[in-house]
Structure 1
Amino acid sequence: MTDRTIITVDGPASPAAPPRRVTGRALFFDGDTAQPVPVAIGYSDADQTLTFAHRGEGYRWPYADLRALRDQAGDQMVLRLRGDPTMRLLIDTEDDRALIRARAKRLGRFVSHVRRGKLAAWGLAAVASIALIIFVLVPVMADQLADYLPPEGEKALGDATFEQIRTALDDTGIAGLQTCENPTGLAALRKIETRLTDQMDLAAPLTVHVLDHPMINAFALPGGYVVFFRGLIEEAGTPEEIAAVFAHEIGHVVARDPTRIALRSAGSIGVLGLLLGDFAGGALVLFLAEQIIRADYTQEAEAAADTFAYNALLNADLPPSAIATLFERLTDDTHHEASAGILDHLASHPAMGDRIAAARAAEPSGATFRPLLTDTEWVALQAICD
């Protein structure tokens, strides 16, 4: 839009245009310095341009490309040229403002300085940055934080998550899903816990609960929580099967796997919640409940928990094959509606057949084991929610 030769204002005015004024006055900002420079402006109606000269260089600004900056006071007009983000002309007389308005019909049009290609690139970069935070940095930070989280902080996280899960699973929406408190049933469960942990050096005592829900499942939470659903205890065929599941979940507690998955899930959904405007945390509660119950650990974490369980069971004089027996029965019992919970849960774990084979292989050939509960205690455990 710039002609680098001195401009001579000439050419007759169009008969339809307002009376031609050969020169006017304006202040020119060249975009390189902050100092305004007075210039003489002219109206070349023959080629429809506003003309002026500065430092020996001539400028032609087509009327069609003149834009007035918005939100200016009524006694001034600041012009810019479409396509040039820096140069400005300050028109300070009403006569010149009127002449320009009569000629430049597009003064009020909006002009964007941002090219669409650059805008798209910035948008993609922003999305990539968010994805990096959610799917890479947050998980890495969660894994590191889990190793340094003090026991009292981990226990507080477990307490809060347990209450969130109780609330999320309560269909009544009143007081949260109930825990099972039958005294003789609790005594039997504590007997299993004692048998398993007598030979363990745990960093903190376990907190064990049974939730009154038909889902066939169990899970661990941060801070030493091991939680069973009523459906799993009712479905088990022997107390040794409960002990095998118990030992597996203790393995997750010792490795602090629940803390990692809780921090990772909360961190990711926290970022997403801010982006989606979910400041109340509702999505966080539901997401944490689903992630913890499904216990979608890595296959390495699951294999490590299995190995821990085999050793814990043998040290407690209990059969590792009990977990294989439970898996086989649940797999065959596909007509049982409540089995869907643990079958979905196990679908994300290492291959079921491999786990069953590994559990049986962990048991010494011809080994015999000491009984875990009496018949009366086993009946009491299965009625823990009555």
Structure 2
Amino acid sequence: MTGPQGAVAATFFDGQTAQRHAVRIAPTSDGLGLAVLFDDAARGALVWPFDRIRALDGQADRASLMLTLRAETGDEAPRDPARLIVTDAAAVDWFHRTRPALFHRDVRPGTFRKVAIWLSGAVAATLLMLFVILPGLANYLAAHIPVEQEVAFGRAVMAQVEYLFGDGEKGLTCTGAEGQAALDLLVARLTEGQAIPYALQVRVFDHAMPNAFAAPGGQIVVFRGLLDDAKSPEEVAGVLGHEIGHAVRRDPTRLALRAAGSAGILSVVLGDVSGGTLAGIAGEHLMRAAYTREAESAADDYALMLLADAGVSSEPLAAFFDRIATLTDAMPEYLSSHPLSAGRAERIRTGALYGADRHILDEAEWRALRGICG
């Protein structure tokens, strides 16, 4: 096989049986094909056209070649089942030097179109799962999950939030007894007589962020930064009323299930709410919660109702939104999941109960609350 003359030993498999056939191979006299000569003369000879001979993929070793024929078969890589194994070094070298078509990749006509169709289908299925099926399933579960299971899920989320965002040993929760008593008193006065499906658990995180968020099952967190920035306990009451509104509507459960995805939904369905990774993902999303504008407006309305029923003016809450408007209103409203703070302040003033003058905490209780983190 060092030229157009001569024959060398090789091994042939017909692809129908496991039998090995000792053969000799040589180029045909016209140079267009490879003759495969069997020791059994009765079997005759095969001729493989060079333009159809292919080396099987994954042959980095040049000490041997496994050859097959391109053929119109039913799979996507058209190959004849027969195999020819060449181990003669000179013949292997000759094939590499003189037959570049040996390593062509053959694909059936229409394969790329099929791949494009399947890829488009996979993308469409993924988008359907992410933006239709998972949100719909999360909404359904949030409305139908038993309260006890939702509370357990919320506790798992809060435990992971403290573990992931705290300093390991101390955690995030502020533990000042007088401050916690003042916070509990504020919540009790704000929610007195209200039909709330949870025993609310409100705590303060020792973090400078001026924010608050609600977790599933009536778990609510106020950040120390919010207490530092608030001008009155009524402002804190308004923000807490807003987060209680989210809790009552089960917005945090809906958001947490969406954030955790199908695995998180399955965990809740099966009652396994202790998965640290899933709870951590859900907690991180809740700390930077992005509810829809409709959900935010509904939570504002709930806060106004709580303040009105408690006899507390909602003007301090409007003033709070006035102050943060300069920080949050740079983004156009149609690009934001939250209504603009200035617009929220105006909307709250429209429904403000100006005649109410009840202070939800006295000065001593307010000082205790602001000092809850020490």
Contact 1:67 1:107 in 2 (8 A): no
Instruction: Name structure 2 gaps, 5 residues minimum.
Output: 19-24, 37-45, 60-64, 73-77, 266-274
Q: How many residue pairs are counted as aligned between the two chains?
A: 337
Tell me the TM-score normalized by structure 1.
Answer: 0.71
**Does 2:345 align with 1:352?**
no
Q: 1:209 to 1:16 in 2, by over 3 A?
A: closer
**1:45-194 → structure 2 map (5 Å cutoff):** 45-50=29-34, 61-67=48-54, 80-82=68-70, 84=72, 85-89=78-82, 106=99, 109-110=102-103, 112-114=105-107, 115-116=111-112, 118-119=114-115, 121-170=117-166, 173-175=167-169, 177-194=171-188
Question: Which residue number corresponds to residue 367 of structure 1?
Answer: 355
Give the 3-state SS of the residue equivalent to 2:217 in structure 1.
coil
Tell me the TM-score normalized by structure 2.
Answer: 0.73
Contact 1:269 1:283 in 2 (8 A): no
Report which of the two structures shows the higher radius of gyration computed on alpha carbons: 1
Kindly provide the amino acid, as one letter, of the partner of residue 381 in structure 1.
L
Contact 2:14 2:81 in 1 (8 A): yes
Q: 1:22-49: CA deviations, max 9, x gaps?
A: xxxx8867xxxx799xxxx996421512
Contact 1:68 1:108 in 2 (8 A): no
Is the deviation greater in 191-200 or in 256-265?
191-200
Q: 1:237 to 1:64 in 2, by over 3 A?
A: same
Q: 1:368 to 1:51 in 2, by over 3 A?
A: same
Contact 1:239 1:378 in 2 (8 A): yes
Question: Which residue number corresponds to residue 298 of structure 2?
Answer: 304
Contact 1:168 1:289 in 2 (8 A): no
Q: 1:37-81: CA deviations, max 9, x gaps?
A: xxxx996421512589xxxxxx97422421355799xxxx98532
CA–CA distance in 2 between the matches of 1:71 and 1:328? 67
CA–CA distance in 2 between the matches of 1:71 and 1:379? 75
**Does 2:12 align with 1:18?**
no
Kindly provide the amino acid, as one letter, of the partner of residue 261 in structure 1.
L
Aligned mate of 2:253, from 256, 259, 262: 259
Question: Which residue number corresponds to residue 377 of structure 1?
Answer: 365
Q: 1:253 to 1:15 in 2, by over 3 A?
A: closer
Is the deviation greater in 78-87 or in 351-360?
78-87
Contact 2:325 2:340 in 1 (8 A): no
Give the 3-state SS of the residue equivalent to 1:209 in structure 2.
strand
Identity across the alignment (%):
37
CA root-mean-square deviation? 4.4
**1:27-46 → structure 2 map (5 Å cutoff):** 44-46=28-30
Instruction: Name structure 1 gaps, 5 residues minimum.
Output: 1-13, 53-58, 272-280, 335-339
Is the deviation greater in 350-359 or in 160-169?
160-169
Give the 3-state SS of the residue equivalent to 2:161 in structure 1.
helix
CA–CA distance in 2 between the matches of 1:137 and 1:314? 39
Kindly provide the amino acid, as one letter, of the partner of residue 52 in structure 2.
D
Is the deviation greater in 123-132 or in 190-199?
123-132
Q: 1:93-119: CA deviations, max 9, x gaps?
A: x9xx99997986659955545455544
Give the 3-state SS of the residue equivalent to 1:223 in structure 2.
helix
Give the 3-state SS of the residue equivalent to 1:204 in structure 2.
coil
